[in-house]
Structure 1
Amino acid sequence: MSISYKKLWKLLIDTDMKKKDLREAAGISTASMAKLGKNENVNTETLVKVCNALNCDISDIMEIVEDNDQL
């Protein structure tokens, strides 16, 4: 199982917001944005900041997906 932030990127497109705009609005680091872009684990505090900036719930920006390479 892994985390996917595809919902976040779709939400940014729908709201016509760029990653840089989100980073500034949420007050998160470029390193955190890079981790989000790579579907890596990020601090829950970072996720809360993103949700507050976008006025959404955590389920609106991320989901847990099955790994394709598991048997």
Structure 2
Amino acid sequence: MGFSYDKLWKKLIDEKMNKLDLQKAINTTPHTIAKMGRDENVSMDILGRICRYFKCDISEVLEYRIENTND
């Protein structure tokens, strides 16, 4: 499956923020927010900005989900 930003979206809800608020807070583009919405990769710089903004560890906003394969 790959990376999931579900924890980030939950954090936004807990902080009463929306994606536009996040975009402005970390000074990024709508394209980057959309990529995260599709669980696509973004730069470590972006992830660092998110962690600095929320004063949290990366594990609080991102997780890696191992794909189940039946080989």
Q: Structure 2-normalised TM-score?
A: 0.90
Q: Is the 8 A contact 1:28 1:49 kept in 2?
A: no
The root-mean-square deviation of aligned C-alpha atoms, in Å, is 1.1
1:25 aligns with 2:25: yes
| Count of matched residue pairs | 70
Distance in 1 separating the partners of 2:53 and 2:30: 16
- Secondary structure (helix, strand or coil) at the match of 2:23 reads helix
Percent identity of paired positions between Structure 1 and Structure 2:
41
**Which residue of structure 2 aligns with residue 50 of structure 1?**
50
Runs of 4+ with >2 A deviation: none
State the partner residue of 1:37. 37
Separation in structure 1 between the aligned mates of residue 22 and residue 54 of structure 2, nearest angstrom: 8
Determine the C-alpha separation between the residues in 2 that align with 1:7 and 1:35. 15
TM-score (structure 1 length as normaliser)? 0.90
Unpaired runs of 5+ residues, structure 1, are none
Rounded to whole Å, the distance in 1 between the matches of 2:16 and 2:64 is 25
Amino acid of the residue matched to residue 43 of structure 1?
S
CA deviation after TM superposition for structure 1 residue 57, in Å: 1.2
Distance 2:51 2:23 in 1: 12
1:23 Cα offset (Å): 0.5
> Which stretches in structure 2 are left out of the alignment for 5+ residues?
none
